[in-house]
Amino acid sequence: MGNLLKVLTCTELEQGPNFFLDFENAQPTEGECKVWNQVNSVLQDSESILTGLQGYKGAGLEIRDAIQNPSDMSLQERAWNSVCPLVIKLKTFYSFSLRLEEALKSLLKSLTCPPLTPTQHLEREQALAKQFAEILHFTLRFDELKMRIPAIQNDFSYYRRTISRNRINNMNLDIENEVNNEMANRMSLFYAEATPMLKTLSTATTNFVSENKTLPLENTTDCLSTMASVCKVMLETPEYSSRFSSKDTLLFCMRVMVGVIILYDHVHPNGAFTKSSKIDMKGCIKVLKDQPVDNVEGLLNALKFTTKHLHDESTPKNIQSMLQ
């Protein structure tokens, strides 16, 4: 039956086609190779980015000592020397978000361009669909980690205050060549977001739609809604979820489903939660709530706090109550 299996469900006509995609083993065809290689050059750095974020310790103690003892220059120097390498690391994370944004746009262009429909693209270009899923998976993992590290914003705020006051003279100020004022402003906006990577992808998807005015909006939203249906069916159907060799793939599917819902909600004028939405939101939320709480708490929070239309009057009350 191949790696891609058509799954017929009772909601197919209402919710669009559902597919089982082989997220574990899909390999690029000759036609996919160019885009796949471009995107892969970005994705191959994703694990090191997550490892770097996971190991982020912050300079809270050094900063506190420096603030409490403003006349002690040795403490000022210690705090500054602790913060500067962290700022370079934060710049690395931010720069990766820009690369990820371009990778996402390349995939969207490939998976939505005529004459094929988005569903046909997903059928024939499974390796690109898998990379799209991997970007979303990384994004939600990054944001889940970032929300647990308040030191990031504290460190960066201290860095900006110190630079602006110019209180430390000739003390590793070469860092301004790496993180100048313009870069610092952009990084500040990025890290001010609760979910900065997801915000980056949402903005990138919205920009992709606005920059490609000849491409019907439905091509993009149908791509996203089909991906949501893919993940929902795989999660709720033991016959298909049992095909995966690793239980981690189930969490992968959950993250991807939530990611495409959020993108759809930002791109579609009416959002993902209305009755006319091509995403079965009630079914998707139920699938998440059927999982262990520890696996889905961050994902449910992402739906609560990063979607655009959840609290619109057009959103059914029963869906809103499911996310309370």
pLDDT digit string, tens, across residues 77-114: 999 999 999 999 999 999 999 999 999 999 999 999 98
- Asked whether 112 and 223 are in contact (CB, 8 A), the reply is yes
Q: Do 248 and 178 sit in the same domain of this protein?
A: no
Residue 127 has pLDDT above 80, yes or no: yes
Mark whether 182 and 281 lie in a shared domain.
no
Domain boundary among 134, 162, 193: 193
- Examine the fold and report which residue of 162, 193, 224 is the final residue of a domain before the chain moves on: 193
Q: In this predicted model, what pLDDT tens digit does every residue of 165-207 receive, in sequence order?
A: 764 555 556 777 788 888 999 999 999 998 899 999 999 999 9
pTM as predicted: 0.89
Give the whole-angstrom CA distance, residue 242 versus residue 15.
Answer: 24
Q: Do the domain assignments include residue 318?
A: yes
Residues 46 and 128 grouped into a single domain: yes
| DSSP 8-state symbol, 167 | -
State which residues form the domain around 252.
216-323
Q: Indicate whether 97 belongs to any domain.
A: yes
Percentage of the chain modeled with pLDDT above 70: 92
Domain contains 275? yes
**Has residue 225 been placed in a domain?**
yes
Average pLDDT, rounded, for the chain = 88
Looking at the fold, whether 35 and 180 belong to one and the same domain comes out as yes
> pLDDT tens digit string along 236-291?
888 888 888 888 999 999 999 999 999 999 999 999 999 889 999 999 999 999 98
Whether 211 is in a domain gets the answer no
Total domains present in the chain? 2
94 lies in a domain?
A: yes
HSE at residue 320, side-chain half, CA atoms within 13 A, is: 11
Residue 8 resides in a domain = no
Looking at the domain assignment, is residue 134 inside a domain? yes
Per-residue pLDDT at 228: 93
Same domain, yes or no: 53 and 159: yes
